[in-house]
Amino acid sequence: MALTITEEAYNSLLNQARNDAPIESCGYLLGPDEETVTQNYQMTNIDHSPEHFSFAPREQFEALNYARRNGLKIVGNWHSHPASPSRPSAEDIKLAHDPDIYYFILSLAEETPVFNAFKIQNGEVIDRINLR
């Protein structure tokens, strides 16, 4: 099975990231199975930083509840890089504790946005999938 994201979910996170720039934007990506994203669950970047992000624990809890209530899986989480490429920073890798989910990064550094998904295990990027 190949990782996919619907146009609607992608447009939702793209709009969110453009509205939040130059601050990094973030959220969860949900879907009916682990390889299909159909929804962007918007989250607040409580760091309000152009270079890193953190989720609000209360929102994380609400997102997980929302997914469970609606029978959706957490495919992964995403954040934007307003001015740098779509690849994990050293800090992104350090904070990637779940080997089973995808870490999506949207780069707005070039005129055409770039959207990649990464699998990260034991401090190493083991897979990269280009989605846009």
89, 93, 95, 114: which one binds Zn ion (CB under 5 A): 89
List of residues 6+ apart from 46 with CB closer than 8 A? 54, 55, 56
Going by DSSP bridges, is the β-strand pair 36-37/4-5 parallel, antiparallel, or unpaired?
Answer: parallel
- Whole-number Å distance between alpha carbons of 47 and 53: 5
Cβ distance to Zn ion smaller for residue 44 or 89: 89
List of residues 6+ apart from 108 with CB closer than 8 A? 17, 18, 21, 80, 81, 82, 83
100: left (phi over 0), alpha (psi -120 to 50) or beta: alpha
54 counts as binding Zn ion under rule CB under 5 A: no
Task: Return the range that interacts with Zn ion (CB under 5 A); candidates 6-14, 30-38, 42-50, 88-96.
Answer: 88-96
Task: Return the range that interacts with Zn ion (CB under 5 A); candidates 33-41, 57-65, 82-90, 116-124.
Answer: 82-90
59 counts as binding Zn ion under rule CB under 5 A: no
Question: To the nearest whole angstrom, how small is the minimum distance from the Cβ of residue 1 to Zn ion?
Answer: 26
Question: To the nearest whole angstrom, how small is the minimum distance from the Cβ of residue 9 to Zn ion?
Answer: 19
13, 41, 92, 103: which one binds Zn ion (CB under 5 A): 92
- Which residues form the interface with Zn ion (CB under 5 A)? 89, 92
